[in-house]
Chain A
Amino acid sequence: MVTTDERPEGRQRSAEEERLLAQRRRDTRNKWLWRIAGYVVVLLIWEYGFQAIMELIAGRSLNDALLPGPIRILQTIPDIWEDGEMLSNFGATLTRIGIGFGVSFIAGALIGLFTQNKWLDSFFRDLVVVSLTSPGLVWALTGLIIWGFKPLGWIFAIFMTTFALVSVNISEGVRALPKDLLDMAKAFGVSSIDRQRHIVIPHLAPYIFTAVRFGFSIAWKVTVLTEVFSSNKGIGFQMRVTSQVFQLDEFFTWVLSFFVFALFLEKVVLQRAEDRYFRWRQEVAT
């Protein structure tokens, strides 16, 4: 119905459409110009005005080494890369994130399923609120003093900060399961496996993706924090070492390289996977 209505109209109003398209093109160009302007201005200020601004704020003169500009940070990347430290440290941090987040995700999803039960929901409610509201630092230190440098220490910290986001999302998803569709499928004798495949999983997928993305964005920050205290490798450890010896250019190189990497994982890889998964859903694709 809708398509048959639209087509002839679209042909008739081609001039109108043309104008709209031109308008949209102009908007996009405008947006990109301002975006690039934003990058240029901020990077220029960072490179040339950073010291003046920070001195104004701090009210005293600052050492040049404390305030590296973007050019100097870029220059230190090859140095670190040639040392071969980049890969091993990234690997160490990623392993930690993988293990910690994996454990928290599974446990959080299970808790999310449990909270469908009213009794278990109120059992876990305060724990979830505590997890959502208290700083990750507290758990990093607590885990460390209980388990020392053992993996359980940092797994505990990552779990305490991440599981609640996962369980809240999963529990929302399960609560919103389309019961009428499931009932209908049952009435028409759709097999259980098909029901899971075609109704339950497609319905839960957006919630799972949200849980993974938000969970990951929190998990990697806590992981870096735990590395500051309890590791001899990884990004957090390098951040501590470089800031202790006042090598702020290396400090920023470590921070920014991992930051870009994490954003890449979060915004590009996960987003891509999500878009690909939801290609069939019009309202999400647009």
Chain B
Amino acid sequence: MTAAAMDSRPRVPFYRRPVAARILMPIAVIVVWYLVYWTLGSRIFEPPHRVFEFMWNELTLETRLRNGKGPSNLYQMFGLTVVRLFAGFAIAMVVGTVIGLAMGLSKSVNAFFHDWVMAVLAMPALVWALFLGLVFGPQGNQAPIYACILAGIPFVIINVREGVRNTPKELFDMARAFGVPQNKITRNVLLPSLMPFLFAAVRYAFSVGWKGLVIAEVFASDSGMGWAIKFWYDAHQTRGVIGYALFFVAFALALEKLLFEPLAEKAFKWRPRVGDVGVVEEQFLLDQTVEGALEVEQFTGGESDG
């Protein structure tokens, strides 16, 4: 079987393989970019090679931003943003887990908080950014970190709550009936059943918190990646704006590939896997589950569990 499969492989021409399609996508983007550049005839818009040159200069520290005594190059900006992200994420995780546990265990607590959690969830990050910027001012880390917490915490709360609600009661009863010690129950029953939900909480608190943080840095901060893209925008430098946009995309992809995919594999190790395709599909399903965690009672629940 495998030998035959390996034999038949080279016969498929390269351009018809999925790998070729994946390589083709960025090329297509660059081609479209050039086409837009030529047809638009805009004075500020710039072609890919100049943007890449700018990015290279940023990476090799050729260019520096004028920012007083503050951080002035890509790595410092980036480091600052990552520190803020982790601070906001950690606080959101801790506080959100506590509230989520309480909401999952008690119907009264759930009724008390539910609508307000939903309101915070649905509020655009822009609102937090503008408001916190006025309250805390652009100096320091406060406004961005609070924006990050406010953006991420509803996802933690909802997912932890759903996790608690979804713990398999029969398994607990059975474990008790067979006299399994409590610490073993916690480790082997509670944690594995909570794991997908905690993982979803981490993932969403991180990616949504990051989006909130960036917006807060644009409107309510004088440093960080968000501030840098705003700097180039104010300077009417297309290469800066698109260059930093691509840095953002690269950061998001790196988070996805280096952090969440290995984490997902660990978190779901106990589950049977269908094959290599399963990982990506599971992610998209997760996307749906978690975005839809609020509506789990409705139809999403049945389908997203797989």
Report A's interface with B, CB cutoff 8 A.
27, 30-35, 37-39, 41-42, 54, 57-58, 62, 66-67, 118-127, 129-130, 132-139, 141-142, 144-148, 165, 168-169, 172, 176, 206, 210, 214, 217, 220-221, 224-225, 228, 236, 239-240, 243, 246, 248, 251, 255, 259, 262-263, 266, 278, 283-284
Classify chain B: how many residues form its interface, as a range. 35 or more
A172 to B300, CA, bound (A): 12
The answer to whether A137 and B25 touch across the interface, beta carbons within 8 angstroms, is no
The answer to whether B45 and A145 touch across the interface, beta carbons within 8 angstroms, is yes
Of the A-B pairs whose beta carbons lie under 8 Å apart in the complex, a sample of 30, sorted by A's number, is A31-B107, A34-B107, A34-B111, A35-B112, A38-B111, A38-B116, A41-B112, A58-B142, A67-B135, A123-B22, A124-B25, A125-B25, A127-B29, A135-B210, A137-B214, A138-B229, A141-B233, A141-B245, A142-B245, A144-B233, A145-B44, A145-B241, A147-B40, A165-B287, A165-B291, A206-B299, A217-B122, A248-B131, A248-B134, A263-B122
Q: Please tell me if B255 contacts chain A, counting CB pairs below 8 Å.
A: yes
Q: How many A-B residue pairs have CB under 8 A?
A: 177
A225 to B127, CA, bound (A): 10
A139 to B244, CA, bound (A): 11
Q: Which of A136, A165, A220, A239 contacts B211 (CB 8 A)?
A: A136
Q: Which of A38, A119, A121, A246 contacts B115 (CB 8 A)?
A: A38
A31-B111, A145-B233, A225-B124 given; A134·B136 CB < 8 A = no
The answer to whether B112 and A243 touch across the interface, beta carbons within 8 angstroms, is no
Give the residues in chain B near A262, CB-CB below 8 Å. Answer: 122
Q: Please tell me if B174 contacts chain A, counting CB pairs below 8 Å.
A: no
Tell me which of B13-21, B90-98, B268-276 binds A: B13-21
Give the residues in chain B near A124, CB-CB below 8 Å. Answer: 25
Q: Which residue of A lies closest to B255 (CB)?
A: A133
Q: Please tell me if B102 contacts chain A, counting CB pairs below 8 Å.
A: no
Give the residues in chain A near B253, CB-CB below 8 Å. Answer: 126, 129-130, 133
Report B's interface with A, CB cutoff 8 A.
16-22, 24-26, 29, 36, 40, 42, 44-45, 107-109, 111-116, 119, 122-127, 130-131, 133-136, 142, 146, 207, 210-211, 214-215, 218, 226, 229-230, 233, 236, 238, 241-242, 244-245, 248-249, 252-253, 255-256, 280, 284-285, 287-288, 291-292, 298-300, 302-303
